[in-house]
Structures are given as C-alpha cells and as structure tokens.
Amino acid sequence: MRRLQRATLLVSTGLLLGGGLGCAESGSDIEDLDRETVFEERLSAAERRGRDVWFENTYGGGTFFQFLAVHPDPSKRIRIAFDEVLNTPRDQRFAQWGLINDPDCEANPAGGPDLCDDPAGTGVLGIRREASGAFGVTCASCHAGLDPLNPPADVNEPTWDNIHPTIGNQYAKFGKIFGHNLAATDVRRLMFNGWRDGTVDTTALFNDNIMNPGVVTAFWDQKHRRTFDIGTGHRELRNGQGGEDDAGGDLATIRVYTNIGVCFFECVAPRPDRPDPNAPIDVAQCRRDCANFPPQQDLDDVGAFLRQVKAPQYPGHPTTLGQAVTYVKGGLTFAVACGNCHSVTGPGRRVYSDAEINPMDAQSTNTCRARTTNWDTGKLWAQFSSDVYKNRGYKGYRTMPLTGIWTTSPFFHNNSVGPYAPADASPAARAAAYEAAMYEMMSASRAPLVQTLPFPVGPFPAGTPLAYVFSRAPATGQLLCDDVVENRGHYYGSDLSASSKAALIYWLKYQ
C-alpha cells in the first residue's frame, strides 16, 4: 500500500503544490479545504446542540469523583482538586492549574468560586456542578483550549472567540489537579508530577499499570481523515494515538464518558456477576441499566459538531518569489521524506496521515503509551476496539495528522519534543515554537528526557526512572514498560540539509 502511494507520489506532486500554494481563494478544492474555525452561524441546529453537549454535559459522572474521594481501597482513594481549583482566584487560576476560565462567569469580589448565571457553571470551562452537587467534567474540560488564531488579551479573561473547541488544553496541569490532595508521602504524587502539561493518563484510574500519560490530542478536519473497514461493513476513523478507539465514534464517545465517571456504578464498578474490575464493560448491559446513558441523539449531535471543526490555518501565504520557491521546495522535500506515512496522495492526504499503526522499531517514539492493554481481548475496554485492532499482532502509534501542526508544539503523543508557546502567543510567536519543535524533532541528537525518582521509594533508589517504578503488574511486579527515554524516536528528516529542513518547516506551517 505504502509503496503504491509512493509510486504515484511524484507524478502528483505538481498538483499537490499547485493546490496548496496561493491558498484557498483560487484553488479548485475550496469547499473542502475551507479551514476556518467553527462560527456559530455556520452550524446547523444539530451541530449547535452537539457543541453544547461537548461543552456542558456530564451525565452524572460527578458522583464517580465523589466516590473516588472515599474509595474503600486507600490505594485508589483520591480527591481530585476541584474545590482547590475553583477557590483559586480567577486571575491566578490559569497560572496555577492551566485551566481555562469560563467566559460566562466572573470573579466573586467577596472571594471564593466565581459567579456564574448558569447554575451548573463553576467558573472553569468544562467543570460543571451537577444537580447532586457533585462536580462532573465535560469533553471540553480537556479538549477545549485557547484559539491560536485569536489568542486572549488576558489568559484569565478569555471571550468565547478565544476558545477553540478541540485543540486540546496544552497548558492544563492535569497531574497537579489529580495529585494535589495526596499525602506528601504518597508515591502516586511522584507519578502525577511526571505528567507534562497538557498530558493525562486516561488509564490512571482504570489502570493498565503502565505509566503512560498522553497529550489531549488536537483534532480537526475529521471529514478528511482516512477511514477503515473494521470488519463490520462499516468504515470508521481510527482514534487514539495507538488507534485503539477504532470501532466508531459512538462507541469511542461512550467509552470516554464511562472513563469520566458516567454510569460508573451501573457499568464499570465490580458487582456480583462481574467481580473482576478489569472485566470488559458490557455496552448493551450498560445501556440497559444506566439511566444516565447518553442518548443517541446527543451522540449523533456531538459527532456532527466535531465533523465541522477545521484546522487553524496559519495567516497569510507565501507572496514573494523567494518564498514561493522555498514553499515548493519544502513541499517536495516533505513528499519524499515524510509522505510515505504522512500521505500526500491517496486517502488521508489532506490531513497528511495514512492513519496506519507503525510497529515499534528503532524509529518509534517512547512506546509506553502504545503498550496499553485496556483495549485487548478480555480487558476493560475490549468492546470499544475492533477485531482489526485486537488481531493486528503488534501495537504502535498511529501516524498523526499534520494539518494545523503549527499550533501544537510540543509534539508527539507525550508532548516530549519542542517548547510550549506562551498561552497568549500571537500566531507568529506560536509558529516560532513550532519551528523550534521541528528542528528538535528533525535531529538525531536530542538530549534524552528521562524523569526519575527524586528520593528512594521502596526498593528503588533515587534516580530510578519513573517508568521502572510505575509500570509494573501489581501482583507479580513484572515490568510492563521499560522504555525510559521520553523524547526518543521519529528521527525522520534529521539527515536533510539545513536549507531543506528550513523549506520543509516553512511549507508545513501553511498546511
């Protein structure tokens, strides 16, 4: 398949560059290549509903977080820092927690949580007060971020125009929010401290016993992503950095909802007929027994909304002849050096990804995330992955799409390569972070990033890599991931000349 794409690549390169250069106004693909962000008036009624579900609905998941705070097993007991976050003054909240203030609320002059007209509003985007009084979280709590094309003048007082629904909050200190209330002697604190900003281990509470925090993936241009026949006659997107959630959008959404507490007691908690807490969730049973199960209409509308989100397009376009030459050279360089995976022809070409799963080899990025077992046969999320995933015979990372990549340094599934742009960065300043990340990525001599224990823990001396401590099977102590260098791998392009790298980076910024 790859070889075939490669063969057709050079023939169609002219077309590819012709379509990109000069930007959308005059191209023949305008309709499909429209990459504006989603404006209110452009959305249908269903899409608007879907947006509101994305930002607002928690379906009672908050009772799960309440339960965690009093979990009968002390090793699982954890009080997520909702109160502390909401009681942090609005003008310090972003700096302390990396969370985004809800534009519809304002600081309470008397102190304490913000004032919001919406009774479910809490002051923070995506954290909602449920009827029970519990705090639940919405999809947007992690996925909404600041709009790179329209950054806020003050990060503490964003307007809705400054919010991007799916870029992923690159600044959220999820580890701090999870670990803040743990005792100083609790080793889990060290694990949470190891999560880089913008990353969260979605298998921390539903544990595969691998320390594998992953970035909240930016996603857009879904319409143009490659789909796969998953053996059911349906073609579906591959979601998840390892392509785990590949059995369709509805199932993926339901899984995430159960992961943020929805239907926990009905569907996930151990019970007499399902005593093993890691036994597969039975989706049909869950739908039947859980009154809060998200209605099909909501799933449909969220899906419709998400399909409308377009990649942020870097402002302007090459104008001078010199820029045009660089642009063309960059596109050609990319086609040859990267196009094999980040397809420039064939399915997925508009988002630059064949969405294939790349087996683990010397070029792999840190493999711990891909080693997750939660979607395997017989495991907790088995019903949410396809047989194609289960029978592939290897795990690895999905080739990630690259449209809008100028907005999301640091790179890779674990945010390990490249700098963070300041949250209020102008597009040019944000692109500078992207450029630095690209140079770091296209270099075979990155300084290894290895996080280690600051003091001895049990049998492990200070200096032991965190992966050795936190990626072990509880019963046997068996090491489940020994890959300690977080920023390794994906050295493609490192042997290019300086001028080819510069041209490639220039071209990719506009895609």
In this structure, are residues 196 and 243 in contact, taking their beta carbons and an 8 Å threshold? no
The whole-angstrom separation of Cα 9 and Cα 27 is 20
- Element containing residue 229 per DSSP (H, E): strand 227-229
Write out the binding residues for ligand HEC, residues 64-123 only, by CB under 6 A. none
Using CB under 6 A as the binding rule, whether residue 471 contacts ligand HEC is answered as: no
Residue 53 found at the interface with ligand HEC (CB under 6 A): no
- Options 81, 341, 469, 503; binder of ligand HEC; rule CB under 6 A: 341
Q: What mask, x for binding ligand HEC by CB under 6 A, covers residues 381 to 420?
A: ----------------x-xx-x--x--x--xxx-------
Q: Of 115-134, which residues contact ligand HEC (CB under 6 A)?
A: none
By the rule CB under 6 A, 190 interacts with ligand HEC: no
Q: CA end-to-end span of the chain, whole Å?
A: 24
180: which DSSP letter?
T
* Amino acid identity, position 215: V
Distance, CA of 68 to CA of 70 (rounded, Å): 5
State the nearest-atom distance from the C-beta of 26 to ligand HEC, in Å. Answer: 27
223-262 mask for ligand HEC (x: CB under 6 A)? ----------------xxx----------xx--xx--x--
* Helix/strand/coil percentages in the chain, nearest 5: 35, 10, 55
- Please state the closest distance from residue 318 (CB atom) to ligand HEC, in A: 18
Region from 39-47, 64-72, 81-89, 139-147 binding ligand HEC, contact rule CB under 6 A = 139-147
- Rounded to a whole number of angstroms, the minimum distance from the CB of residue 59 to ligand HEC is 9
Length of the chain: 511
Residue 329 and residue 432 in contact, taking contact as beta carbons nearer than 8 Å: no
The DSSP element (H or E) to which 483 belongs, if any, is: none
Eight-state DSSP code of residue 267? I
**Sole binder of ligand HEC in the list 9, 85, 86, 142 (CB under 6 A):** 142
CB 401 within 8 A of CB 236: no
Shortest Å distance, C-beta 147 to ligand HEC: 18
Per-residue 3-state assignment (H helix, E strand, C coil) for 162-176: HEECCCCCCCCCHHH
Across 63-222, the runs of DSSP E, i.e. the strands, are 105-106, 115-116, 127-129, 135-137, 145-146, 163-164, 199-200, 214-215
Token pair in block for residue 135: 């705090």
**Minimum CB distance to ligand HEC, residue 275 (Å):** 27
- Indicate whether 58 belongs to the interface with ligand HEC (CB under 6 A): no
Q: Is residue 217 near ligand HEC by the rule CB under 6 A?
A: yes
Distance in angstroms (rounded) separating the CA atoms of residues 400 and 52: 27
Compute the distance between CA of residue 485 and CA of residue 380 in angstroms, rounded to an integer.
28
- Out of 179, 214, 280, 331, the only residue in the binding site for ligand HEC (CB under 6 A) is 214
User: Restricting to residues 429-448, which ones interact with ligand HEC according to CB under 6 A?
Assistant: 441-442
190 in Cβ contact with 468 (< 8 Å):
no
Q: Binding of ligand HEC at residue 13 (CB under 6 A)?
A: no
CB of 365 to ligand HEC, least distance (A): 3
Q: Among the candidate windows 41-49, 89-97, 187-195, 215-223, which touches ligand HEC by CB under 6 A? A: 215-223
Interface ranges with ligand HEC (CB under 6 A): 137, 139, 141-143, 200, 202, 214, 216-217, 219, 239-241, 252-253, 256-257, 260, 337-338, 340-342, 358, 365, 369, 397, 399-400, 402, 405, 408, 411-413, 441-442, 490, 492-493
